[in-house]
Amino acid sequence: MFFDLDDETELLRRTVREFAEGEIAPVAEELDYEKRFPYEIVAQMGELGWMGIPFPEEHGGAGGNALQYAIAVEELTRVDSSVAITLCAHTSLGVQPIYLYGTDDQREHLMPDLCAGRKLGAFGLTEPEAGSDAGNVRTRATLEGGEWVINGAKQFITNSGTDISGHVAITARTGEKEISNIIIENGTAGYEQGAPYRKMGWNASDTRPLTFTDCRVPEENLLGPRGAGFKQFLHILDIGRIGVAAMGVGLAQGALDQALAYAKERQAFGQSISKFQSIQAKLADMATEIEAARLLTYKAAWEKDLGRNFTLTAAQAKLKTGRLAVRCAEEAVQIHGGYGFIEEYPVARFYRDAKILTIGEGTDEIQQMVIARALGA
């Protein structure tokens, strides 16, 4: 087995890290406090080719792979989760369905702007009665005169309401026992984005509810075969878990970075607190667990790049890294003491941002169910 990354991937890691530290870190606290979407940063990432890393150049992408994408997400999350989830949800949920299941016309129409960051993509699965029970979709689409007439609602949808949002691909019942995915572009009559949620974390990202009232789109906006929606979105969720797992690794690493730097500076009883055994134990455990989680996440991306079944590994990585992110953020706050409770220190933001990683893209309980099924339980 070889654990060294190739030169191209290492260069990407260094470039994203430098960008995150130089361009995002100085404004992350302000963006979070003001709940302001990072348009300029997204535009810069688009120009750098990062909004389409794992997609072929012929469709406007960067021609990279899943591992490179995961590493980019990890490096962004080390500094700020809001920027990272914007890229993550756009790539995994916004662009992947178009690339995997779209027609040539749909790819040609949508992907160049998506991969360049001129438009953001979104995926609408979750509903008030269809969260972990993803098959319990209530939104309906009826075919009338060559158009889908859509009625229903979605919630917790990322990237759907910004000034550069381009489309949302939604799940809808197209028959009594039939779920399909349908593309709805922003500006379509009957499609309304609700007000942004007031969230505990990810404050600079866009998350809101969507409603569809007699919303009409052309029949050709169907994404893939009619009735294939359930199978499609399960695969999309598998891919998305690689990205969210990378976020967990990145947040945990960022929390460790902040905790170590603070522990070396903070003086108590005549020495830096990093010299105390209790603090060293926390730092050592964090570093060890992060490395294990990183390898598991990279393995999931590696399996995807090889065309292997990665459902089990992606679920394991997502479960492991979400819990680790929460624990590392908590330990980082503890090491900071009272200062960890003050918002001007990044660990306070990390603490708020971490919890959703055990919920979004499938809760911990869903991951456990996926893992157990894969084990044959």
Q: Report the catalytic residues.
A: 361
Q: Which residue from 97, 103, 101, 96 is spatially nearest to 220, judged by alpha carbons?
A: 103
3-class DSSP assignment, residue 367:
helix
Packing angle of the helix pair 66-77, 277-305 (nearest 10 deg): 150
Amino acid at 284: A
- Please give the backbone phi and psi of residue 56, each rounded to the nearest 5 degrees, phi first: -60, 150
DSSP class of residue 4? P
Q: Which two tokens stand for residue 96?
A: 């992947």
DSSP class of residue 208? E
- Please give the backbone phi and psi of residue 79, each rounded to the nearest 5 degrees, phi first: -110, -45
3-class DSSP assignment, residue 170:
strand
Q: Which two tokens stand for residue 267?
A: 């003086």
Q: Which two tokens stand for residue 266?
A: 């903070």
Characterize 12-25 residue by residue with b for buried, 16 or more Cβ atoms within 10 angstroms of its Cβ, and e for exposed.
bbeebbebbeebbe
